[in-house]
Amino acid sequence: MPLDARIYVAGHRGLVGSAIVRALKHRGYRNILTRTRQELDLTDRRAVDAFFAAQRPEYIYVAAARVGGIWANNTYPVDFLQTNLEIELNVIRAAHDHQVKKLLFLGSSCIYPRVAPQPIKEEYLLTGLLEPTNQPYAIAKIAGIELVNAYRRQYGDRFISAMPTNLYGPGDNFDLETSHVLAALLRKTHEAKVSGSPAVEVWGTGEPRREFLHVDDLAEACLFLMDRYDDAIPINVGVGEDVSIRELAELIGRVVGYQGDLAFDATKPDGMPRKLLDVSRIHRLGWRARIPLEEGIRHTYQWFLANATARPGPSA
C-alpha cells in the first residue's frame, strides 16, 4: 500500500481496529479513514454505500464486529448472528461496488469444529460441528469468509480472510458480562487483590487450552498480509503455543501480585476443549508473533490500571 493510500479501518475503536490504526500510523500512513458507530452505522446498507461513494477507500480492514465471551454469546444469539451478518454484507458488497483495491476480512478461530485435530489447519473449516456456546457468532464469521471467496471467484476481487486466535491487549473489553477469558480473569484477579478476597472464581474446570495473541502482533500481521497475501484460503494468525485456563489464571495472578486461591466453577461451560491454530502457512510467508504471553499480559495490566475503572470489591 502506498503511504498516501485511502485506507478504511472498520471498527477502529475496538480492540483489533485500534491496534491496526496504531500500526498504520507507526508505518507512516497518513490517509486513514475512520468512523464511529454514531457517524456510520455499518448495519445500514444505504449509509455504508453513501460513505464509500463519498470517501472512495482503496484498502479496507474489516475489524468491525459484535464480539463477546461465552456468557454474551449464550445470552444474545440473535445479536451475534444478525448484526455480524449485516456488517459483513454491507461492507463487503460496498467494497466490490466501489472497486476497492484490496480488502482484509477478520474472522475468528471459533469458526473451526469443536473437536478438530490439533493444531487446527485452515482446511479443517466446515469439517465438523461447531462449539454450541459461540455457534451464532461462528456461523456469521463463516458466512463472511464465504462471501469474500464468492466475490473472488465470481468477480476476481482481491478480498482475503485472516483467522486470528484468542486476542488480548490494550483497549480490551473488561466488562465481566461480555469480555473474553483473559480480560475477565485479569479484572477479577485485580479486584480480588484490591478487596482482599481469598479466591478468584474461574469459569469451568480450568482444563481447556487456549492460544493467546497480543493484538499489536495481530495488527502487524494484518499489514503484512495486505502486502504479501492474495489467496482464497483463509489464513491462520497465532503464536503456535497454548496454555490451560488454569495456567493462564496462575500467570495472571503472578502478574497482578495476587496471593489468593483459584476457585473453579465446574457448573459453568468450558467451551471448546482445545483451540490451537496451525500457523505454518503464515510462518512460511515470513511473519511470526513477537510478544511473549507474560510480557503481553503485563503490558495489558498496565493499560487496565491506567484506563479501566474496576468495580470495588465487597470489602473495599
Residue 106 is assigned to a ligand binding site? yes
Going through the chain in order, the beta strands assigned E by DSSP cover 7-10, 32-33, 59-62, 102-106, 159-164, 166-168, 199-203, 209-210, 212-214, 235-237, 243-244, 261-265, 274-275
**pLDDT tens, position by position, 190-221:** 999 999 999 999 999 999 999 999 999 999 99
φ, ψ (nearest 5 deg) of residue 10: -80, 125
Q: Side chain identity at 127, as an amino acid letter?
A: T
Q: Could you tell me the three cell numbers for 284?
A: 512460511
The domains of the chain are located at 7-168+211-237, 181-209+241-274+293-307
Query: Which member of 29, 61, 112, 137 is catalytic?
Result: 137
- 76 carries an active-site annotation: no
**pLDDT tens, position by position, 108-137:** 999 999 999 999 999 999 999 998 988 999
Residue 204 is assigned to a ligand binding site? no
User: What's the residue count for the chain?
Assistant: 316
Q: How many CB atoms lie within 10 A of CB 229?
A: 19
Is the pLDDT assigned to residue 313 strictly greater than 70? no
Find the mean pLDDT for residues 29-35: 97
Find the mean pLDDT for residues 72-85: 92
Is the pLDDT assigned to residue 271 strictly greater than 90? no
Instruction: Say yes or no: domain 7-168+211-237 is CATH 3.40.50.720.
Output: yes
Residue 165 is assigned to a ligand binding site? yes
Fold of 181-209+241-274+293-307: UDP-galactose 4-epimerase; domain 1 (3.90.25)
Instruction: Report the alpha-carbon distance of residue 254 to residue 243 in Å, rounded.
Output: 15
Residue 134 is assigned to a ligand binding site? no
Q: Are 223 and 23 in contact (CB under 8 A)?
A: yes
